[in-house]
Structures are given as structure tokens and as C-alpha cells.
Chain A
């Protein structure tokens, strides 16, 4: 029942309008429709924002499978989800851009890539280009939103973080570094409303021409040995993996040793 309590507490005149773009995911093992992992993280991020009015937006067809998946998002504690009806194989960009352009939310949150279809991750970029809003990718958290400027925490590889400031309205994408989505509760998921909206539709004309097949295992890269003589071939085959050419400091005082290590650490830029 906790999500509904949250709902009551939330003031109606909340300042920040947040739209979360959600899609229908695909379970990697069973292949069933589910909430997409990154989109669910995006919803979680939106729900943790202070004084935000969150709307969920999905463009696509409504059938039995996708309804189950979409209700998964409602089960996270939201009363309604806006569904822009688009048939299978449509290009949803126009419909989404139109809806977002009319609603003018301050912050649009999306996952990085879809788990079905092309999954190119282009949609947020195309929306940003179309609407002329800035886009920040790979978000870990939104630290604060003040005076139309959001302070964001971007996830870098190797567990590092970077702080960014972006002027709103903006589009942000969430990656796997953001906090995990809360569990979806069954009751609120059943009670939540899916409000359908009609919108103009354009077909995606390029996609039917492509050949889509289940992912093949990529061939492993072979070590190519370019040897001119038997000796070189033998050496390549029998070679032990060795770094080689390392510098060894023997009989150095601890200070000299520390100096050498310090220089290397500085060169690599790992010291902060």
C-alpha cells in the first residue's frame, strides 16, 4: 500500500513535470514480455525525485502481452499510464515528439536501448534533435533540480561518476548504473489505468527490408601468426605469455622505489 500513501502526500502544485518513456521489455531467458530493465530504472529515478509529477508514456500496440508488461510499471506506484496507440512496425518518433511537444515536460527520462526490435538506442537522440532539447546519456542519479537547472550524476565506465549541469527541459537516459527498480506490486498494477491516446502514424519503411535472425555467436578472434621461418612459427606456438621489457629496480632505497612508482601512477593518471 506504500505507493498509494506516497501519492496522497504529493502536493498537486508540484513544480517539476517529469515524463518517463517506457517500453515493453523482453526477458533474456524466457523471451516473455516484461518491464524493460532500464526503463524501470528510469521510473525508479523519477519516483525518487522531490516534488515531481511523473507521467508514464508508451507508444505502441496494446495486446495481452504488452499490457502485462506495462502494468508492471503501474505496479511501481503510479496511478496511470498514457498509451499512444501505434501498430506494430510503426515509427513512433513522430507520435512521441508530438505528444512531448504538446505536454512540454521539464525532464524526459528514457532507458538507453529497447530490449526488442532494432534496439539502436536512437530514439532519445532523435527526440532531442527534433525538440531541440539537450540530452545527457548514461545517468546514475539526479542530484537536484533548481531554477530550471538539473544537477546530474553520470556513470562512467569503471564505476566512476561525473557531475553535470544541464538546463531544462532536457532528455536524459538511464543506464544500468542507476539504482535498481522497486518491485512491482500486483494490486496497484491491476488498479492502474491505461489511458489510450490516438496519434498520427508513420510506417517504418526501412525495417521490413532487413534480415533479422537470432543472434549468432560471434567468431572468436584468432591469433594470426605472421612467421617467415619455422623457428618463428615454433616460437609463436610455444611462447609463454610474458610482459617482457619491464623495468626492474634492484638495490633501490624505498624512496627511490616509491619515486619510480609515483611517476608511473602520475603518468597513468590514476592518482587524484
Chain B
């Protein structure tokens, strides 16, 4: 390559024309977006070059856009990184006290309820700026970690955890309230946290928290949704919780064991914490379990209410092979749903309709087959975790919403999927 600088008039023109589709990439290539406008002078004074600010507009007039949009092409990855770094790192070396939290981690992930609870724990821990407490999360690592998410990837530090006790072992798998309770008692003996916070969620923290409270002989506050500082109370806080099947509010001094509802506090957003691992000094004593978990029972997916189904296979106008669709739902073990068009055309019953005019669903996986995604339908699937779309039209709204979209013929893709699942099951059966 020669040293001669060659000008590319076309690129210069694109660089001037900020409406050109390649504007940002060309800017980046020419290095104009990175022109230094501010630097530290030799005497420690910030120097500015006012001429380097802005860009030359399409008519040759200099424009200054103070919104920062013009650095978009460059700044996009940088801005994301900056947003991440903008979290303040907080390390608490010598905590004055501990706030123990037992998150549910359904499916091995922090739920929004868990995050809210950790936010509440931070409120309690950080109330006194001079003598901050530390949030101690007790996590049962065996918790249905099929997704393969590792503990670090769960983002406990970002959620506000200073100390972490990960309890591993087969004993905690499935429904093992006795083993978990024994572990929590061991944590209580070893660390004596000032507060115990658990989510008041069905079969998660609600069950375990009540057992813990009974074991610790503490009277817990249940269904707590608000806490306020209160000098007169023993622990310095007052809480409000629901009572009498949600028809009354009970205001009382904050006890040691608290079972809190979702949205009890804002989740941690501005700080990042260490999530430093702790271990129990003594191994847990062996325990004779009186409750034995025989595993999940196969439930007829068609009998599950659409609004609480976990896995929905939903059909729309693009489905032509209805036999194949029903067969796929049966093989995959999915609950069937439908868009309004499919229902209006008489292919599916009315109670299977998903969307604003039908059922609002909360599935973990929503597999939309041949649904282009009318806004009413997208409203209905707002709270679904993962949306998979199979569609012929790559530009439709459902594809934009989907976490995974496959463009192609619905019938053949479903058939291939069914075959794959069946083959997998047979292999498993042969192996067993």
C-alpha cells in the first residue's frame, strides 16, 4: 500500500449527508466521528476544540446536534458499555449486620419478585450510611438448573447481593422443605442475620419462610408490601402487609422474618455488589426426610387453563394443516392457543383465543405458528418469557417481538420438530 492519501469523494459526500443509509458506517471509516473535541491540556485544564464539534450538513452548513445522536454509529456499543460501567461498584468489607435473603430462583433465574426482594434487603442494609449491613443470599444451587445457567450468570451481584451461600447437593432437589429448612437453620446458627427476607410466593418462599419462622420461634410479617423507618420499633422499621385474605392492611413493627409480596421495593439498578462466596463451617447433618418427592405428574396440557399454561403452541391464519398442528401440540406437550382469525374461521374454540379480546397468557415459551402479530395479540402475550415465531413473512410484527424466529413453511417446520422430539424420546428410551 502506498503512503499517498487518496480521497474518496463519494464517501465524503456520504459523510456529509447524514440522511444517507451508510452515513454512520462511512463516518466511522473516515474517522471523523472520533475527532477529539475535548482533551486535557498540559496544565491540567480541559481544552475544547469548538471547530471539531458537529458535522457538515447536506447543504454544506455546519450543524451541531447536542443530543449525541450523531455519534450513534460509534457510540452505540460504547454507550452500552458505559451504561454497564455506570453502575457503582460497592464492596462492604466489614458489615455491621447481615440481611439474609432466600430467593426462589425459579428455573435457575432471578425472578422479578426476587429482584424486588433484594431491593428491599438493600433498603434495610443501607439505611445507616456509616454502618452498612450486607445482603446475604442463600441459594440452593440444585434448584432446577436445567437451563444450564451458572450462578455467576444469574447476576446476583447486579441484583444487590454482597455475600452468597450456595448450597449444593441432591438433597435440595425437588420438593425438599425439610432439608432446606435444616440448611437455613445452620445459616442462622453460623451467621445470625438480623433480618430474614423471603418472597411470599406460592410453594417457594411462602412455604419455606413459614417453616423457618416456626423453627426460629419468630412471628413473621406476611404479605408485606411496604416498609418505613420507625424509631420506636425494635429493629427500627415498620411494615405494612396484607391480612385476612388480602382485604385488610396490617401495620406493625418489622419482625425478624419477613415474607414480602412482589413489587415491595424497587430492584437495585445503580450499584453492583460483590456477591462474595461464603461457606458454612460445618457440614450439614444428615437428615431423614419424611417427605419424599416422587417427581412431577404428567398433566393433560389441554386441561391446563390457557392463562397459566407454561408452554403454548398457538396457531394463526398461516396454519393450513390443522391435523399436523394438533399432533404437534400433543407430541410437544403444549397447550393449544389461537389467534383471533383462527377462532373466527372456526378452526379453534373461542376459549383458546389469545390476545386482548381473549386470554392474556403468561407462558414461559410461546410458540406462534403462522401468526403475524396484530397489536391485540401482542398485548395478550406481553408477559411471556420467550416467544418463538414460525412465519412466512419476515417483516411481520411477531418476528420483531420474537426471541427466535424461523422464516419458512409452518407445516414442514412443525413436522420436522415433531420428528426430532420423537427421535430424541426414542433414543432416551433405548438408553434407559
| A114 neighbours in B (Cβ, 8 Å) | 244-245
Per-position 1/0 for A200-232, Cβ under 8 A of B: 000000100111111110100100101001110
Q: Is the interface of A mostly helix, strand, loop or mixed?
A: mixed
B221 to chain A, nearest CB (A): 8
B-facing residues in A215-272 (Cβ within 8 Å): 215-216, 218, 221, 224, 226, 229-231, 241-255, 257-262, 264-265, 267-272
Residue with the highest number of chain B CB atoms closer than 10 Å, among A120, A160, A255? A120
The reply on B165 being an interface residue by CB < 8 A is no
B421 to chain A, nearest CB (A): 7
B203 to chain A, nearest CB (A): 5
| A245 neighbours in B (Cβ, 8 Å) | 403
User: Is there contact, CB below 8 Å, between A117 and B243?
Assistant: yes
B302 to chain A, nearest CB (A): 11
User: Is there contact, CB below 8 Å, between A162 and B251?
Assistant: no
A211 to chain B, nearest CB (A): 4
| A206 neighbours in B (Cβ, 8 Å) | 219, 252
B1-9, B27-35, B43-51, B287-295 - interface stretch: B287-295
Per-position 1/0 for A149-175, Cβ under 8 A of B: 001011011111111111100100001
Classify chain B: how many residues form its interface, as a range: 35 or more
User: Is there contact, CB below 8 Å, between A252 and B408?
Assistant: yes
Per-position 1/0 for B416-429, Cβ under 8 A of A: 11011100100000
Per-position 1/0 for B210-236, Cβ under 8 A of A: 110111000110110100000000000
A218 to chain B, nearest CB (A): 6
User: Is there contact, CB below 8 Å, between A121 and B210?
Assistant: yes
A29 to chain B, nearest CB (A): 10
Given known A-B contacts A165-B294, A218-B263, A264-B365, A159 and B248 have beta carbons under 8 A apart: no
User: Is there contact, CB below 8 Å, between A229 and B67?
Assistant: yes
In the docked arrangement, what's the CA distance between A116 and B269, Å? 38
B193 to chain A, nearest CB (A): 20
Given known A-B contacts A135-B211, A268-B364, A248 and B290 have beta carbons under 8 A apart: no
Nearest B residue (CB) for A168: B290
The reply on B247 being an interface residue by CB < 8 A is yes
Nearest A residue (CB) for B217: A129
Per-position 1/0 for B293-314, Cβ under 8 A of A: 1111111000111001111000
Kindly identify which residue among A118, A213, A259, A269 contacts B107, using a CB–CB cutoff of 8 Å: A269
| B147 neighbours in A (Cβ, 8 Å) | 267-269
Interface size on A, residues (CB 8 A): 83
Given known A-B contacts A121-B210, A257-B390, A243 and B400 have beta carbons under 8 A apart: yes
B-facing residues in A84-131 (Cβ within 8 Å): 113-122, 125-126, 128-129
The reply on B141 being an interface residue by CB < 8 A is no
User: Is there contact, CB below 8 Å, between B291 and A136?
Assistant: yes
Nearest B residue (CB) for A264: B404
A219 to chain B, nearest CB (A): 9
| B148 neighbours in A (Cβ, 8 Å) | 267
Kindly identify which residue among B107, B297, B414 contacts A162, using a CB–CB cutoff of 8 Å: B297
Given known A-B contacts A121-B210, A218-B225, A265 and B365 have beta carbons under 8 A apart: yes
The reply on B344 being an interface residue by CB < 8 A is no
Nearest B residue (CB) for A170: B290
| A269 neighbours in B (Cβ, 8 Å) | 107, 144, 146-147
Nearest B residue (CB) for A221: B263
User: Is there contact, CB below 8 Å, between A159 and B299?
Assistant: yes
A16 to chain B, nearest CB (A): 18
In the docked arrangement, what's the CA distance between A221 and B113, Å? 13
User: Is there contact, CB below 8 Å, between A216 and B407?
Assistant: no
The reply on B250 being an interface residue by CB < 8 A is yes
Given known A-B contacts A116-B244, A119-B245, A163-B297, A252 and B406 have beta carbons under 8 A apart: yes
B16-24, B90-98, B273-281, B380-388 - interface stretch: B380-388
| A213 neighbours in B (Cβ, 8 Å) | 248-249, 251
| A158 neighbours in B (Cβ, 8 Å) | 304, 308-310
User: Is there contact, CB below 8 Å, between A215 and B292?
Assistant: no
User: Is there contact, CB below 8 Å, between A261 and B291?
Assistant: no
| B296 neighbours in A (Cβ, 8 Å) | 156, 160-163, 272
The reply on A11 being an interface residue by CB < 8 A is no
The reply on A134 being an interface residue by CB < 8 A is yes
The reply on B10 being an interface residue by CB < 8 A is no
B235 to chain A, nearest CB (A): 14
| B69 neighbours in A (Cβ, 8 Å) | 231
B16 to chain A, nearest CB (A): 22
In the docked arrangement, what's the CA distance between A119 and B201, Å? 15
Kindly identify which residue among A156, A161, A243, A257 contacts B413, using a CB–CB cutoff of 8 Å: A257
Kindly identify which residue among B222, B385, B406, B413 contacts A120, using a CB–CB cutoff of 8 Å: B222
Kindly identify which residue among A125, A212, A241, A246 contacts B213, using a CB–CB cutoff of 8 Å: A125
In the docked arrangement, what's the CA distance between A133 and B138, Å? 26
The reply on B175 being an interface residue by CB < 8 A is yes
The reply on B266 being an interface residue by CB < 8 A is yes
Nearest B residue (CB) for A250: B407
| B390 neighbours in A (Cβ, 8 Å) | 257, 261
In the docked arrangement, what's the CA distance between A154 and B243, Å? 25
Given known A-B contacts A138-B207, A158-B308, A26 and B244 have beta carbons under 8 A apart: yes
Nearest A residue (CB) for B212: A125
Kindly identify which residue among B222, B409, B421 contacts A121, using a CB–CB cutoff of 8 Å: B222
User: Is there contact, CB below 8 Å, between B291 and A254?
Assistant: no
Interface residues of A (CB under 8 A from B): 26, 28, 113-122, 125-126, 128-129, 134-138, 151, 153-154, 156-167, 170, 175, 206, 209-216, 218, 221, 224, 226, 229-231, 241-255, 257-262, 264-265, 267-272
In the complex, the 7 A-B pairs of residues with the closest C-beta atoms, listed nearest first: A231-B67, A258-B416, A257-B406, A159-B304, A270-B311, A258-B417, A129-B214
Q: List 21 A-B contacts (CB under 8 A).
A: A134-B178, A136-B291, A138-B207, A156-B203, A158-B309, A159-B299, A162-B294, A163-B293, A166-B292, A209-B252, A212-B250, A214-B249, A243-B401, A255-B416, A257-B417, A261-B388, A261-B413, A262-B424, A265-B365, A268-B311, A269-B107
List 18 additional A-B contacts (Cβ < 8 Å) besides A116-B244, A212-B243, A242-B400. A114-B244, A115-B247, A138-B203, A151-B294, A159-B304, A161-B297, A162-B174, A165-B292, A167-B290, A170-B290, A212-B250, A218-B263, A231-B69, A244-B400, A246-B404, A250-B407, A261-B367, A265-B365
